[in-house]
Amino acid sequence: MTIHREGYKSIAIGTIIFVALNLISFYFLSPVSAALCWVIFFATLFLLLFLISFFRIPNRTLTISDGKVIAPADGKVVVIEEAVDEEYFKTRRLQVSIFMSPANVHVNRNPVSGQVVYNQYHKGKYLVAWHPKSSTENERHSVVIRKGNIEILVKQIAGALAKRIVNYLEVGDEVAQTDEMGFIKFGSRVDLLLPVGTKVNVELNQVVQGGVTVIATL
């Protein structure tokens, strides 16, 4: 397991706060209540370890398959349905949405190899990630990857806790399947918009792994 570069600053700040709080706690509270000092120590240690865990990149064997759409994120499948995309395609698409809890790995990966033909950031609300309108009203970043004559839209969506979406791609980039496309800090969701009729290989409420689970077959 390694730590994602997006976490270096947050973990450094968290470590400084952890050390400062406990130095103050043991210096001022120890004579009064040693038990309280230890409660504060273990509580802040848990929060620091959780912060480190949030930015983890686990060691795993990634799935590379030319005819498959691979999960762009860890999480649970919460939507499989046809919907009209008003942003890019202007037609009906097959939407597969993955909800990411704060405990999930938050690295986002390219579901297919191809060329980036669209990349757009949208300001928006911070509705809970499972809200039906979060796909169109929340802060989000949309990327379209063209693979041959097929285009797939990947939408990173902020949630009630997620306040920062990071996207590394630019229009014209040639990207490889399962390489990093971005990172969402502190819980949210990722939508895939696929051609209608695409064979879906997952079910509702199924837990998937980013870069590993096959979402659909092209």
User: The domain spanning residue 97 has which CATH number?
Assistant: 2.70.70
Is the same domain home to 168 and 96? yes
From the list 97, 134, 142, 188, the catalytic residue is 188
188 assigned to active site: yes
Classify residue 63: in a domain, yes or no: no
Q: Taking the alpha carbons of 86, 88, 93, 95 in that order, is the dihedral positive or negative?
A: negative
| 34 φ/ψ angles, rounded to the nearest 5 degrees | -65, -35
Six-digit token string for 187: 């819980």
What pLDDT shows up at residue 153? 98
Classify residue 62: in a domain, yes or no: no
Q: What angle do CA 87, 91, 94 make, to 5 degrees?
A: 95
Which of helix, strand or coil describes residue 209? coil
pLDDT tens for the chain, 218 residues: list them. 799 888 899 999 999 999 999 999 998 888 888 899 999 999 999 999 988 988 888 899 999 999 999 999 999 999 999 999 999 999 999 999 999 888 888 899 999 999 999 999 988 665 655 555 556 667 889 999 999 999 999 999 986 665 678 999 999 999 999 999 999 876 688 999 999 999 999 999 999 999 999 999 99
Is the same domain home to 44 and 80? no
Domain coverage including residue 102: 68-217
DSSP per-residue letters across 84-100 = E-TTTT-SEEEEEEEEE
Of the candidates 171, 56, 63, the residue with the CA atom closest to the CA atom of residue 109: 63
